Amino acid sequence: MKDAYPDWKDVTNLLTDAGIDPYRRRLRVRNKGDETFFKVEVPDGAQVVGFTPAGKLVTICEKKKDTSEQYTHLPAGMADDGEELGQTATREFYEETGYGFASLLRISTCNQSTPHLFGLDVVYVALGCKKLCEPTEPNISVIEMAPEQFERELCDYLTKNPLQKGSGRNSLASFRLAMHVANRDGLLNPQVTDSSPMLVAIMGMPRAGKTTLGDALKKALGIHFIDVDRLKKETLGLPTRAQYEELWKDSKRAGELTAQYMKLAYMSMHAAVDINLQAGRSIVCTATYSRKDSQESLREIGKKYGARVKVVFLRLENDTQDEVMRRMKCDNGEFVQGCSTWADYLQIKARYEPVTKTDAFPKESIIEIDTGQPPDACVAQALEFIKK
């Protein structure tokens, strides 16, 4: 029986030629009657069926390596080590298309149809997709097309190439499933809730209480809430604290990556704000907004849709070292990423441009709240200002 196993060196070459790292995969050998065959067990993957606010499908077009023939399919990819599949979907969608989205829905799981691969594909629907930048992966063009056109072209391609599996057939199955769910639940026809939506922006130094206030306003006002730190951690899948600590051993590289990650997080958050306001949905967003240019970027989004903008600037009047370090501790005892020492806090404070001192927003649209008072008092003060 040992001789029936494929040679591992041959398998390694096969996977390498296919662009797959063989050392992250496990070989499964199976027996079916007298036949011995193998499948490579791979990490689960994510397939994203993305729709723009206009109902167009976000697709990618690339050339087949063997024939140079072009074909269109949906963004997809395998999970990195330790990565949640929602993070995989967001990362792959961004890398392959350069698009962000307003919301991501997990709808189903299916077996991968690629020959010799054993794993699962989780199908996601991304709504409110908006272009952020050019795709980071080479030799890919992004096309927004009508869903029926995509199905017709992909079916034509698969008819001409009956042995083609993998991304093509996975895309077709995922697309049809997503269209069924979207039509059933009315996902592609969101109702406009307000001709003049409201944008509530909560700004302030780290540990001022922005996320706490955002959660409270979401509950009190019944509107969508997006927090840039949660976006970084839960959706974009950016580095964990342990990874940050490893990065900080090379301070220059760490600084470059931190700036890159923060820029991506702000771009994604502003895209979500844009998409929600365009659909007439009010939204609360929270971020440090330490730079005037990021404040102005948010202002222009609100201006574009005639939104009623309310800026809540949180400050900690008594920001002594003891108080800041107490607040800096999370519930589990870990420090907040990016600001883990008193020196970090002072460094951020030194370069901080508070919105109350810039001209990014009209003064009458800004309220300043000291979060040294009880949380309920802060919430009441913010709500009174917002409802004026």
Mean pLDDT of 74-87: 83
**CATH code for position 261:** 3.40.50.300
From the CB of residue 380, how many other CB atoms can be counted at a distance below 10 Å? 14
Domain boundary among 185, 211, 233: 185
Whether residue 62 is contained in a domain is answered as yes
Residue 191 is assigned to a structural domain of this protein: no
Q: Are 165 and 209 members of one domain?
A: no
Residues 282, 357: one domain? yes
In a domain, 149, yes or no: yes
Rounded Cα gap, residues 172 and 105, in angstroms: 18
107, 89 Cβ separation under 8 angstroms: no
Q: Do both 32 and 99 map to the same domain?
A: no
Tell me how far apart the alpha carbons of residues 320 and 339 are, in angstroms, rounded to a whole number.
15
In this model, does residue 245 exceed pLDDT 70? no
Provide the residue type at 124 as one letter.
Y
Residues 107-119 pLDDT 10s:
776 544 444 444 5
Residues 58, 23 within the same domain = no
Give the CA-trace dihedral at 70, 71, 75, 77, to 10 degrees. Answer: -80
Question: Considering 152, 185, 218, which residue would you say is the last residue of a domain?
Answer: 185
Shared domain for 91 and 208, answered yes or no, is: no
CB 89 within 8 A of CB 177: no
Region class of 368: left (phi > 0), else alpha (psi between -120 and 50), else beta: beta
Residue 193 belongs to a domain:
no
Q: How far is residue 192 from each of residues 55, 187, 221, 278, measured CA to CA in Å? A: 15, 13, 17, 9
Task: Read off the pLDDT of each residue in 307-316 and give the average, rounded to a whole number.
Answer: 92
> At 240, is the pLDDT very low, low, confident or very high (cuts 50, 70, 90)?
low
Could you tell me if 202 and 338 lie in one domain? yes
Reading the block at residue 182, the tokens are 């979207």
The tokens for 272 are 């979500």
Give the residue among 311, 359, 346, 300 at the shortest CA–CA distance from 210: 311
Q: In terms of domains, do 99 and 154 share one? A: yes
> Are 273 and 285 contacting, i.e. CB atoms less than 8 angstroms apart?
yes
The verdict on 156 and 250 lying in the same domain is no
CATH number for position 162: 3.90.79.10
pLDDT band at 13; cut points 50, 70, 90: low
pLDDT band of 150, cuts 50, 70, 90:
very high
- Same domain for 58 and 170, yes or no, is yes
Does residue 113 sit within a domain? yes
End residue of a domain, out of 185, 206, 229: 185
**Do 371 and 224 share a structural domain?**
yes
Q: Is residue 50 part of a domain?
A: yes
Answer yes or no: is 190 within a domain: no
**Over residues 258-268, mean pLDDT:** 75
**221 and 171 fall within a common domain:** no
Segments forming the whole domain that contains residue 286: 198-386
Most confident of 71-85, 117-131, 174-188, 292-306: 292-306
Do 9 and 114 have their domain in common? no
Count of domains observed in the chain = 3
192, part of any domain: no
How is residue 55 written in tokens? 């109902």
Residue 330 CA to residue 336 CA, distance in Å, equals 7
